[in-house]
A and B are shown apart, each in its own frame.
Chain A
Amino acid sequence: MKALKNYLDKIKPNFEEGGKLHWLYSTYDAFETFLFVPNTTSRTGVHIHDARDSKRTMIIVILALVPALLVGMYNVGLQHYMAIGQEMSLLNTFLYGLIAMLPLIVVSYVVGLGIEFAMAQVKKEEVAEGFLVSGMLIPMIVPIDTPLWMVAVATAFSVIFAKEVFGGTGYNIFNVALIARAFLFFSYPTKMSGDQVWVRTADTFGMGKGTVIDGYSGATPLGQIATTDAGSFSEFTFHGITGNPLSISDMFFGFIPGSVGEVSTFAILLGALILIATGVGSWKTMLSVFVGGAVGVLLVNSFAQNAMMDMPFYYHFLLGGFAFGAVFMATDPVTSARTEKGKWIFGFLIGLVAVAIRVFNPGYPEGMMLAILLINAFAPLIDFYVIDANIKRRAKRATASLKG
Chain B
Amino acid sequence: MALSNQTKAVLLGPLNKNNPVIVQVLGICSALAVTSKLEPSLVMAVAVTLVTAFGNVIISLLRKTIPTRIRIIVQLVVVAALVTIVSEVLKAFAYDVNKQLSVFVGLIVTNCILMGRLEAFALGNGPWPSFLDGIGNGLGYGWILVVVGFFRELLGSGELLGYKVIPQFMYDAGYENNGLMMLAPMALILVAVIIWVHRARNKDLQEETN
Is B183 in contact with chain A by the CB < 8 A criterion? yes
**Cβ-defined partner of B178 (8 Å) among A147, A187, A190:** A187
Is A7 in contact with chain B by the CB < 8 A criterion? no
A188 touches B174 (CB 8 A): no
Name which of B176, B183, B196 has the most chain A CB atoms within 10 A of its CB: B176
| 0/1 string, B156-198, CB within 8 A of A gives 1 | 0000000000000000001110111101000001001000100
| A191 proximity list for chain B (CB < 8 A) | 176
**Cβ-defined partner of A186 (8 Å) among B180, B192, B196:** B180
User: In the complex, what distance in Å separates the CA atom of A150 from the CA atom of B179?
Assistant: 12
A183 touches B180 (CB 8 A): yes
| 0/1 string, A179-209, CB within 8 A of B gives 1 | 0000100111111000000000000000000
| 0/1 string, A5-31, CB within 8 A of B gives 1 | 000000000000000000000000000
A188 touches B176 (CB 8 A): yes
User: In the complex, what distance in Å separates the CA atom of A189 from the CA atom of B183?
Assistant: 13
User: In the complex, what distance in Å separates the CA atom of A251 from the CA atom of B181?
Assistant: 36
Report A51-98 residues with CB < 8 Å from chain B CB. Answer: none
A189 touches B174 (CB 8 A): no
Chain A: interface secondary structure? helix
Name which of A149, A186, A188, A191 has the most chain B CB atoms within 10 A of its CB: A186
B179 touches A187 (CB 8 A): yes
Report A189-247 residues with CB < 8 Å from chain B CB. Answer: 189-191
B179 touches A147 (CB 8 A): no
B189 touches A188 (CB 8 A): no
A189 touches B179 (CB 8 A): yes
User: In the complex, what distance in Å separates the CA atom of A189 from the CA atom of B177?
Assistant: 11
The bracket for how many chain B residues form the interface is: 10 to 19
Nearest to B173 among chain A residues (CB) is A149
Is A161 in contact with chain B by the CB < 8 A criterion? yes
| B175 proximity list for chain A (CB < 8 A) | 149
| B192 proximity list for chain A (CB < 8 A) | 165
Chain B: interface secondary structure? helix
User: In the complex, what distance in Å separates the CA atom of A188 from the CA atom of B181?
Assistant: 10
| A161 proximity list for chain B (CB < 8 A) | 189
| 0/1 string, A124-154, CB within 8 A of B gives 1 | 0000000000000000000000010110000
User: How close is A270's CB to chain B, nearest CB, in angstroms?
Assistant: 35
Nearest to A149 among chain B residues (CB) is B174
A186 touches B189 (CB 8 A): no
User: In the complex, what distance in Å separates the CA atom of A27 from the CA atom of B35?
Assistant: 40
User: In the complex, what distance in Å separates the CA atom of A190 from the CA atom of B183?
Assistant: 16
| B183 proximity list for chain A (CB < 8 A) | 186
A186 touches B176 (CB 8 A): no
Report A265-309 residues with CB < 8 Å from chain B CB. Answer: none
| A183 proximity list for chain B (CB < 8 A) | 180
User: How close is A205's CB to chain B, nearest CB, in angstroms?
Assistant: 17
| A188 proximity list for chain B (CB < 8 A) | 176, 178-179
| A187 proximity list for chain B (CB < 8 A) | 178-181
| 0/1 string, A150-171, CB within 8 A of B gives 1 | 1000000000010001000000
User: How close is B1's CB to chain A, nearest CB, in angstroms?
Assistant: 44
User: In the complex, what distance in Å separates the CA atom of A134 from the CA atom of B106?
Assistant: 46
Nearest to A182 among chain B residues (CB) is B180
User: In the complex, what distance in Å separates the CA atom of A233 from the CA atom of B196?
Assistant: 52
Name which of B174, B176, B178, B180 has the most chain A CB atoms within 10 A of its CB: B180
User: How close is A202's CB to chain B, nearest CB, in angstroms?
Assistant: 13
Q: Contact residues of B with A, CB < 8 Å?
A: 174-176, 178-181, 183, 189, 192, 196
Interchain Cβ contacts under 8 Å between A and B, 21 examples: A147-B174, A149-B174, A149-B175, A150-B176, A161-B189, A165-B192, A165-B196, A183-B180, A186-B179, A186-B180, A186-B183, A187-B178, A187-B179, A187-B180, A187-B181, A188-B176, A188-B178, A188-B179, A189-B179, A190-B176, A191-B176
Given contacts A161-B189, A183-B180, 12 further A-B contacts (CB under 8 A): A149-B175, A150-B176, A165-B192, A165-B196, A186-B179, A186-B180, A187-B181, A188-B176, A188-B178, A188-B179, A189-B179, A191-B176
Q: Contact residues of A with B, CB < 8 Å?
A: 147, 149-150, 161, 165, 183, 186-191
- Shortest 10 CB-CB contacts between residues of A and residues of B: A187-B180, A186-B180, A187-B178, A187-B179, A188-B176, A147-B174, A186-B179, A189-B179, A161-B189, A183-B180
